Structure 1
Amino acid sequence: MNEKTSKLVKISLLSAIALILRYIEFPVLPLFPWLQMDLSDVPAMLGTFGFGPIVGIIIELLKNVLILGIKGTSTAFVGEVANFLFGVALLVPAGLVYHKKKSKKTAIIGMILGGIFMEVVAIIVNAYFLLPAYGMNMDSAQLMQYITLGLLPFNGIKSVIVSVVTYVLYKKISVSIFKVEPNFGGSKNSAKTM
C-alpha cells in the first residue's frame, strides 16, 4: 500500500471511530442537560497530531456529515454545527503549536491553548449564533449564568478529558499508526522520561 493510500485509510478509520464515539454521549451538568459530552474529538485530535490540523478538520467534518446522514438531526443542525466548530477550535491550535516543534511540551501547550480557544469560541458562537438559531432567547443575566455555570465548566471538562485521552493514546499508537516516535517527536532516549 502506498503512503497516500495508507494515509487515506487511517483518516477513514479515525473518522469511523469518531462517528461511533459521537453516538456515546451523556450530560455532564444537570442544570444544562443539552450540553452532551462525547469523546468523538479524540480521533480528530489523534489525526491532528499524526498528520496535521487539516486532517483533524477533515475528520471533524466527516464525523458530523456522517452522523447527519445516518441519524439525522434533532437540533435543526445546531448541535452538529456546535460539535464541528468546538472540535475544530480545540484541535487547530493544538496541532499548529505541536507541528511547529514536535515535543511533549508543545503537545501539552497546544492542547491547553486549544482548550482556551475552544472556551472563547464557544462563548461567542453560542451568544451570537447557536442560542438564537435554536430559539433560546436569553437576557444578559441568563446568558451570563449559562456561560459561567454551563459553557465554561462543560468545555473545560471536555477539553481536559479529550486532551488527556489523546495524550495517552497517541503515546501508545504513534509508532504503529503514524510512524512517529511515541514521545511526541523527541529522541528515543527521552521517550523513557515521558
Structure 2
Amino acid sequence: MLQIRPFGMGPRTRIRGACGPGREPGWFATIEPMNETVARIVRWLSLTLALAVTSTVLGIVGITFASLQGEIGMGIAVRTILELFALVSIVAFCARRWQDYGWGFWLSAATAGYLLNPLSWTGQALAGRAVLPSAGPATALVDLVTWVGVASAVVWLQGRRHEGPPIPADVRELLR
C-alpha cells in the first residue's frame, strides 16, 4: 500500500485527528513509512519517465529548430546538446538526492529512459547519425553507449562529490 506523507513528517509521525466511528475524541493516527522496495520502484519509474519525456520533447524542439533554419548539421548538434543537457541535469539532481542506490539502479533507469525515447528507435536520438553513414541499429547503439556513458560519468562525479573531506565540527555548527 502506497502511503503519501505530507512534507516534514517523519516516518512515525502522530497526527491528532477528529473522532471517528468507534474512536474516542482526540485519537492519534500513526503514519507508517513507505516500504523501501516500493520507494525504489517509484523512484526508478519517475527517473525513467523524466528522462524519456524530457529527451523526447527536447529532441523534437531540436528537430523543429533545424527545420526552421534549414541546416541539418546544426539541428543534430542542437538536438544532441539539448538531450545531453536534460540527461545530465536530471541524473545529477536525482543522484544528489538519492545517494543510497547502486550502479544498477542508475544505469538501468538511464537505459530504459533512452529506449522509451521514440527518436532512439530510429537511431536519431543523439549524434550517432552524424558519425555513421546510415541510420539504423548501429547508430542507435552508438547513441545508447554515449547516453549510458554520460549518465555513468554524472553518477560517478556525484558520488565523488560526497566522498570529499569531512567538514570540521565548528564549520558544521555554523552551517546549521
Higher helix residue share: 1
Q: What is the TM-score with the length of structure 2 in the denominator? A: 0.47
Q: What is the TM-score with the length of structure 1 in the denominator? A: 0.43
Larger Rg: 2
